[in-house]
Amino acid sequence: MLYGVVVYCLFFGTFLYMIGFVENLFVPKSIDGAPQIPLTTALLINAALLSLFALQHSIMARPAFKRWWTQFVPEPIERSTFVLFTCICLITMVYFWQPLGGVIWSVENDVLAGVLTGVSMIGWLVVLIATFMINHFDLFGLRQVWLYFQGKPYENVKFRLPLFYKYVRHPLYLGFLIAFWAAPVMTITHFFFAVMTTGYILTAIQLEERDLIALYGDKYRKYKKWAPMLIPFTKGKMPQEQAGAHAAKEAEEPASLY
């Protein structure tokens, strides 16, 4: 239980730092700055750092890896350990990150610049809210250690479609894309980061949806037919019978730590 709580606190601190890192706010080292090393070297270092995060996050999230990994790591702390490794990769990325210099666009109008900054912050807020909608505590390992602490068996979170998930299948990823691209000043460094992370997100969605279909079966297949992946309102609406069924289910099964 203590391990899970400590890792969660590390995650939350890392998440807050990443907001400051991407937005160039309040942190000692952010995404932009004066170049310190040759451009080619900086590009290779940044690409390696982002690839390290992408590989760790993708490989450790796969069910096959989890089955192998839990031979060595106790199952109740498997998710917390995944979160710990994610934090280590993000901290490593921030520490070794290399600014590239250059500006692609810069919004001179103060009002428009403020609007773009506000939109970017809304993106971060969407990310955080989306985690609570699907069970924030399960996503970051607290639910698992809490159930183990109580001597209760773990059960997978049930398939539900709260708020954002009625309009888009991956609101968490959409929030990240908004946060990364809504920049009043888009440097070459920030652009490289945004392009690389967008490529990772589009790849990760394919892997994640394969796992979700394996877990939820026809429920998720039907969901894919009418719910857009990232852009709201680009597909049909939730079928009325499904909307009624989910409303009743959510009333009976609220998501919480307990």
Model confidence over 137-190: pLDDT tens digits? 999 999 999 999 999 999 888 888 888 999 999 999 999 999 999 999 999 999
Q: Is the pLDDT of residue 256 over 60?
A: no
Model confidence over 245-254: pLDDT tens digits? 554 454 444 3
How many C-beta neighbours within 10 Å does residue 174 have? 23
Q: Pick the closest to residue 16 from 110, 90, 85, 107 (CA basis).
A: 90
- Determine the average pLDDT of the residues in 122-149: 94
pLDDT at site 159: 81
Confidence of residue 2 (pLDDT cuts 50, 70, 90): very high
Model confidence over 195-245: pLDDT tens digits? 999 999 999 999 999 999 998 899 999 999 999 999 988 876 666 555 555
pTM value is 0.88
Domain boundaries, the chain: 2-252
Alpha carbon distance 205, 210 (integer Å)? 8
